[in-house]
A and B are shown apart, each in its own frame.
Chain A
Amino acid sequence: MIAVRQIGCAIAVLGMLGGCVTTQSGPTYSVSTGKPTAAADDKLAATLKPGAKPALNTDDAGLRMMYDKAEGKFKTSGNVVRDPEINRYVSGLVCKVAGPYCADIRVYVIRAPYFNATMGPNGAMQVWTGLLLRTRNEAQLMAVLGHEIGHYLRQHSLERMRTAVNTSNALAFFQLATAGAGVGIVGAMGSLVALAQLTAYSRDQEREADRFGHLFLVKHGYDPREAARIWGQLIEEQDAEKEEGEEEETRSVFLASHPLPDERRDTLWELADEVEVREKLTKINEEVYNAVFLPHRRMFLRDELNLRRFARFETLLEMLIEDGKQVAELHYFRGELYRLRNDVGDVERAEKEYELAVEAGDPPGEIHRSMGQIHQKLGKMDAAKGAFQRYLKAKPNAEDVDIIRHIIGKLS
């Protein structure tokens, strides 16, 4: 929360220095070559030059400095995923999209179970693990990366700040910086959210970024329909949540101020349909994507379960089970979902899911502990004891073996 406070003040000060600025209408540059290009002929024209460093006394430099400060904080934090393979893969994709701007962008994979990605005007990009759990192939991830890079290339944050300062909406804008603070004893995601909230883009900017995401997919030979599918998947989750009345205020900044998911999905479908060579664009690189992320999916799923957004999680699991990759762990987590939700009939549902997980082969070792708990609930004490013993065998070095032995002792 300290970070939030500082960002808030930094913006206030920046706003005071801001003075009069004109909206941007300068030269444009090709995203392929980095050379000047005519915006009218180049749909992917950037408004900033590769490697550009704004003069220190400009509002652009001030804005970047603020983000540099926040980046300095979060890049050393425990929330950054350090796995070298994940980082190499995501950075590689970013460079593929960003071309001559590659060196200007730093991407951080953040362990946070929400569908979110952010882009700072200083080139600091975040991709959250909740997003990586939901994108299903390389094309979908590319669509998101392309979207974020679009924000960067078109300097949307700067544009946004200038609009805010010029229209004396400054207060509302600056308050965004503090919106993540002060939730009970701990706050929301602290500086991460504060930072992301600064990039609350306008709807038109979002539409422009979506178009960039789409054009990048086409440019690199990916199936552009995958961009629309991401939104279709999210809509399914949201609908399930609404039906259950579990809807909470959308914590995902990626969604908050954005055009409605339906609109985005439909527009992206239309864009994809208009592509002349679409039949040739079939690349989705699902295998490459899965090779990088499936080994880590259990951790992503655990984080998601911990949020206890049961309706959403159930829908997500159903989609992933349909995909058919490593289904044992998916059935295990669906069992966990039912066990923790504990509605009428959930104990039996959980039991069935655990059985499916065991049938599928190689489920997480924790499944035996969960089965023990379920048997205990159903009054099957011998079965419970057996399951806990299997847990000890499967996870002899688990952090809770002492308590499990204690529980077995009580069951005897």
Chain B
Amino acid sequence: MTAQILARLAFLCVCFLAAGCQTYSLVQPARVTVGDKLSIEPDIAWNKRSIENAEIWTVDGEALQALHLYKGLEDGDTLFVLTNSEKQEKMPQYSKTMSLLELREFIEASIVQSGFTNLKSLKFKPTKFADKDGFRFEFTFSNTNGLRELGFAAGAQSGDRLYLVLYRGAKLHYYGKYLKNVEDMIRSVQLAWASAIL
């Protein structure tokens, strides 16, 4: 073992420790707009970061609980964007012609393609989302460390887009911790062009 290799190994360690870092900004409890149409009113403060087609909110860290707020999926969009391009190619794509049952299959397949396992569907119901006829379904799966997570997706199709909120968290404590806040927040969802609110 040369000193050079040892140094590189030490560097690798530091990289691993730093890899989880993301830049977050604070969301205050007041109505905010996500994308151009969906607005929502949180009752507590969240940390948020933006990705291409969504914002991801968390209080305790994404590994423990995460709320994905989609700006409106359009034909060909995928629910998650993976860095591995081969895996990304296999990600199911949204289509505006999907039926309610197909929407569930789309979301479930996206979760499995992301590397989660032991997926099980739970309650699936019709429900209002904003003022639209929407759906809500719950699921459970094992995360990459084999820990059980709970989650649900609520959304509605409007125009040619799918508006969707996806909440997931560790079954032990963290999912339940802000479930009520998330439920209340989803009841506050409005779908309108930003200018129409002003």
**In residues 119-172 of chain B, which contact A (Cβ within 8 Å)?**
119, 121-126, 135, 137, 142-148
Counting residue pairs across A and B whose Cβ atoms lie within 8 Å, the total is 163
**Contact: A18 with B119, CB < 8 Å?**
no
| Chain A neighbourhood of B20, CB < 8 A | 1
Contact of B1 among A78, A168, A186, A369 (CB under 8 A): A168
Is B5 located at the chain interface by the 8 A CB criterion? yes
> Which residue, B86, B113, B116, B145, has most C-beta atoms of chain A within 10 A?
B145
Is B72 located at the chain interface by the 8 A CB criterion? no
Is A39 located at the chain interface by the 8 A CB criterion? no
Is A191 located at the chain interface by the 8 A CB criterion? yes
**In residues 179-229 of chain A, which contact B (Cβ within 8 Å)?**
181-192
Task: Looking at the assembled complex, report how far the CB atom of B6 sits from the nearest CB atom of chain A, in whole angstroms.
Answer: 6
Task: Looking at the assembled complex, report how far the CB atom of A67 sits from the nearest CB atom of chain B, in whole angstroms.
Answer: 16
Complex CA distance for A306 and B105, rounded to whole angstroms: 9
Complex CA distance for A111 and B141, rounded to whole angstroms: 11
Q: Which residue of B lies closest to A20 (CB)?
A: B1
Complex CA distance for A8 and B10, rounded to whole angstroms: 10
Is B84 located at the chain interface by the 8 A CB criterion? yes
**Contact: A406 with B126, CB < 8 Å?**
yes
Interface size class of A (residues with CB under 8 A): 35 or more
**Contact: A187 with B5, CB < 8 Å?**
no
Q: A8-B13, A184-B87, A188-B144 are in contact. Are A340 and B105 (CB under 8 A)?
A: yes
**Contact: B19 with A403, CB < 8 Å?**
no
Complex CA distance for A188 and B114, rounded to whole angstroms: 7
Task: Looking at the assembled complex, report how far the CB atom of A364 sits from the nearest CB atom of chain B, in whole angstroms.
Answer: 14
Complex CA distance for A333 and B90, rounded to whole angstroms: 20
A277-309: CB near B (< 8 Å → 1, else 0) gives 000000000000000000000000001001110
**Contact: A79 with B12, CB < 8 Å?**
no
**Contact: A186 with B16, CB < 8 Å?**
no
**In residues 65-106 of chain B, which contact A (Cβ within 8 Å)?**
80-84, 86-88, 90, 92, 99-102, 104-105
**Contact: A308 with B113, CB < 8 Å?**
yes
**Contact: A399 with B124, CB < 8 Å?**
yes
Complex CA distance for A186 and B12, rounded to whole angstroms: 20
Is A65 located at the chain interface by the 8 A CB criterion? no
Complex CA distance for A190 and B80, rounded to whole angstroms: 18
Contact of A306 among B100, B119, B144 (CB under 8 A): B119
Task: Looking at the assembled complex, report how far the CB atom of A87 sits from the nearest CB atom of chain B, in whole angstroms.
Answer: 17
Q: Which residues of B contact A (CB under 8 A)?
A: 1-2, 5-6, 8-10, 12-13, 16-17, 19-20, 62-63, 80-84, 86-88, 90, 92, 99-102, 104-105, 108-109, 112-119, 121-126, 135, 137, 142-148
Mind listing 24 A-B residue pairs with CB under 8 Å? A5-B19, A9-B13, A18-B1, A74-B146, A79-B117, A113-B117, A168-B1, A168-B5, A171-B5, A171-B8, A181-B16, A184-B82, A186-B144, A189-B115, A189-B117, A190-B146, A306-B108, A307-B113, A308-B90, A340-B105, A373-B102, A399-B123, A399-B124, A400-B123
List 17 additional A-B contacts (Cβ < 8 Å) besides A1-B20, A76-B146. Answer: A1-B145, A5-B16, A9-B16, A78-B148, A79-B142, A175-B12, A181-B16, A183-B87, A183-B114, A184-B87, A184-B88, A184-B114, A248-B90, A399-B124, A402-B125, A403-B126, A406-B100
